[in-house]
Chains A and B, each alone.
Chain A
Amino acid sequence: MVDLLEAVIRGLGRGSIYALLALGFVIIFKATRVISFAQPAFMLAGAVLVTFLVGPLGFWGALIAATLLTALLALGVERSAVRPMVGRPAFVVAIITLGVDIAVRVVVNAFLGINVRQVDDPWGLKTVELAGLRVEQRHIAVLLTTTVLVAGLFAYFRFTRMGLAMRAASYDQEAALAQGVSVGSVFAVSWAMAGGLAAVAGTFVAAGENVDGLMWRIALVALPVIILGGLDSLPGAVVGGLLVGVLQELAANYQAEYAPVWLGENVSIITPYVVMLLVLLVKPYGLFGTREVERV
C-alpha cells in the first residue's frame, strides 16, 4: 500500500510536468488550430537558461527570468515563422514548427556544450516524510507550482479582458475579429504562454538531475497526453497529464512483478502511447475533446 501510494505521488510529480507541457500545446491549438512541435525546444531552452541564470539570480529568480526569456523566444518564433502561415493547412504549419524545433535545439545544445550543467534547484533528491510515506521534495514542489500556475491560468482565461478575447478567438476567429479582438495578439500571447510553461516544465524535469540534450524527448509525451485529454480541452490537458504520469510510474513500479517478460524492459516509456491508442479506439476525440462537426 505504501509502495502504491509512493508510486502515485511520484506519478503526480511527473504528471504535473506533462500537464504543464500539454497546457502549452492546448493553448496554442485553441488559438491557432495548430499543434506546435516546437515545445520540446522551448522546454530545453528554458532549462538551459536556468542553468546560466541560477548563479546570479538564485533558483526562483532564474526560473522566472528563464520563463520570461523563453516566452520572448516563443514570441519571436511565432512572429517570424508562424504568422506568415496564417490560413495555410494546419499540417504545413505543424511541420514548420518541427523545423523550428530542430533549428532551436541545435542552438540550445551549443549553449549546453559538453559540460554537465545543473539547474541547482533547492531540492535535489532529498525526501520528506509525509504521513508515513517517503516523498521526494521535488515532486511536491512541481505539484505545488503546477497547481498555482493552473489556477492562475484558469483565472486569467475566466476573469481578464485578454482571457476573454482568447476564449472568443478560439471559439470563432472571424466573429472575434469582427468584435474588435486583435487575433494577432491572441496568437502572440498564446505562443508566449506556451513557451513560458514549457520553460517551467523543463526546469522541473532537470530538477535533481543534469540538463541533458536528450531531455526534449520528455516533451513528446505531452502529445499522447493532449490526445488523451482532447486537443482543445484545458482541463483535459491537466487531467490527462496527471493520469499519464501516474500510469507511467505504476508501470515502472510494477512491471518487474506483473508484466510478462516478452514486453521487454522499460515498458513505462511506451505506456502513454498505448493508453492513447486504447482511448482513441473508444473515443476518437479524447476524453474531454469537442467532437468535430462536419459541415458540407
Chain B
Amino acid sequence: MKNRPLLYTSYAGEMGLLNTRAKQLSVGLMILVALVLPFVLDDQWLSLLAICAATAIGAIGLGLVTGYAGQVSLGHAFFIGIGTFTAAVLSGDPNGRTLGFGITNMLIWLPAAGLVALVAGIIVAPLATRLRGLYLAIVTLGLVVIGEHIFAEWSDVTGGLGVGRPPATLDVAGYHVGVTDSVGTKDQKAYWLMLILLVVFALAARNLARSKVGRAFTAIRDRDIAAGVIGVNLPRYKTIAFAISSFYAGCAGALLYPLIGFIEPGSFNLGMSVLYVAMVLIGGAGTISGAIAGAFFITLLPTLTRQLMPLLPFISESSDRIPNLLQLQTILYGVLIIGFLIFEPRGLFGIWIRIRSYWKSWPFSY
C-alpha cells in the first residue's frame, strides 16, 4: 500500500484532507518553515508576509464564492470594508474623534466583524441569487460604488474621506500583539498570529469545500440547471456561498488594517475588488491553495518589482519621470492578469500541477 499513493481503499481515504503521504509531508514542512521564518527574515519582510496572510484570508473567501460556487463577485471590497469598520468601531477609543466601544479583545471583534459582513452578504443575496454571470458582476460592482459612498459620508464611523480612522487593536484576550516585548518584536508576533489564523481559516474553507455544501457549490458552478435538477437548492446554496465569502472578507478586513495601521475609507473601491479577483484567478480558481498563492503573489508583486529595479536601469524611481516604478508595477499587474488567463487559465496552481505531473511520469514525461 505504501508504494501506491494513488490507491485508495475507502471513500473517506480519498476525500481526506491530506489524502497522500506527499501532501501530509509537504504541508507539514511548509507550516514548519513558515513558523521559523521570523528567526531568519527581518521585520520589514515579516510585516509584509503578515499582510499577505491576512489578504489570503480574504482571497480564500472570494475563492469560495467565485472559484467554487462560480458566482462572480466584484463586491468583495464592500464586505471587506464592512468587516474593517465593524472591528474598528468595536475596538475604537470610546472618547476618540470617531465612534468606538473600547472592546479591544480580538476574540470578540474578529467574529463580530465576520458576522456583520455575513449579515450584509445575506441581505444582498436575494438580489444576487436571481442573477447570473455578468449581470451579477455588474450588480456587485454597484454594491462597491454604493459602499464607497456610505464609507465616505458616514464620517462618525469611518472618519471621512481622506481623513480616516485608526483600525482595531491586535489584542488577544488581554495580550498585546502589536507591541514589542520579551517574546518577540511586534512584527514577529503579528506574523505568527496571522499565520495561525490563515491556517485555521484555510482548513475551515478546505473542509467546507469537501463537504456536502462544497459539492453543491461545484455543482452550481459547473452547470446550475443540472444542479437544480439533481436537487441542489440553488437560492439556498448561493446565499450560503455569499454569506461565507462575506464572513471571510469581513475577517480579512478586520485583520488586515491593524497591520497597515490606518484605515482610509476611500480604499474600499473597485480597484480592491479587482485585486482580489486577480488573486483568485492568478492563483487558480476553485482551489484553496491557489487562492493563498495568488494572494501572496499579488501582494508581494510591488516589492518584487522594486527588487528587480537594478536590472532595469531605464525605469525611474521617482513618480514624476516616465517610465517610473509605479507605472511598471501597474502595467505588470494588468499584463499578468491577461497573460495568466490566456496561457495558464488554471493559474499558479495549474503551473504546480504541470510540474507535478512532469515528475510523476518521469522519465516518460512528454
Give chain A nearest CB distance to B105 CB in angstroms. 31
Partner of B337, one of A96, A104, A220, A265: A96
Any chain A CB within 8 A of the CB of B345? yes
Give chain B nearest CB distance to A44 CB in angstroms. 14
A34, A96, A100, A274: residue with the most chain B Cβ atoms closer than 10 Å? A96
Contacts of B138 in A (CB 8 A): 35, 223-224, 226-227, 276
Any chain B CB within 8 A of the CB of A114? yes
Q: Which residues of B contact A (CB under 8 A)?
A: 72, 127, 130-135, 137-139, 141-143, 145-146, 149-150, 152-154, 225-226, 229, 270, 274, 277-278, 281, 320, 322-323, 327, 330-331, 333-338, 341-342, 345
Main SS of the interface on chain A? Answer: helix
Across the interface, do B342 and A96 meet the contact criterion of CB distance under 8 Å? yes
Closest to B345 in A: A92
Across the interface, do B149 and A264 meet the contact criterion of CB distance under 8 Å? yes
Across the interface, do B337 and A95 meet the contact criterion of CB distance under 8 Å? yes
Contacts of B143 in A (CB 8 A): 273
- Chain A interface, number of residues (Cβ within 8 angstroms): 49
Partner of B139, one of A94, A227, A270: A227
Partner of A113, one of B141, B145, B322, B338: B322
Give chain B nearest CB distance to A284 CB in angstroms. 5
Across the interface, do A284 and B134 meet the contact criterion of CB distance under 8 Å? no
Bound together, the chains give a CA A113 to CA B135 distance in angstroms of 35
Given contacts A99-B334, A276-B139, contact A84 B342 (CB under 8 A): yes
- Name A102-119 residues within 8 Å CB distance of B: 102-104, 106-107, 109-110, 113-114
- Name A273-294 residues within 8 Å CB distance of B: 273-274, 276-277, 280-281, 284-285, 292, 294
Across the interface, do A106 and B72 meet the contact criterion of CB distance under 8 Å? no
Partner of B142, one of A90, A95, A224, A263: A224
Across the interface, do B334 and A101 meet the contact criterion of CB distance under 8 Å? yes
Q: 14 new A-B pairs (CB below 8 Å) besides A35-B138, A91-B137, A223-B142? A: A35-B137, A81-B342, A91-B72, A96-B338, A99-B341, A102-B333, A103-B330, A103-B331, A106-B327, A220-B145, A264-B150, A276-B139, A284-B131, A294-B225
B127, B139, B281, B327: residue with the most chain A Cβ atoms closer than 10 Å? B139
Contacts of A84 in B (CB 8 A): 342
Across the interface, do B225 and A296 meet the contact criterion of CB distance under 8 Å? yes
Across the interface, do B334 and A103 meet the contact criterion of CB distance under 8 Å? yes
Closest to B335 in A: A103
Contacts of A263 in B (CB 8 A): 153
Contacts of A185 in B (CB 8 A): none
Partner of B335, one of A99, A226, A274, A285: A99
Contacts of A280 in B (CB 8 A): 127, 130-131, 135, 139
Contacts of B336 in A (CB 8 A): 99
Contacts of B130 in A (CB 8 A): 280, 284
Contacts of A99 in B (CB 8 A): 278, 333-338, 341
Any chain B CB within 8 A of the CB of A177? no
Any chain B CB within 8 A of the CB of A269? yes
Across the interface, do A220 and B270 meet the contact criterion of CB distance under 8 Å? yes
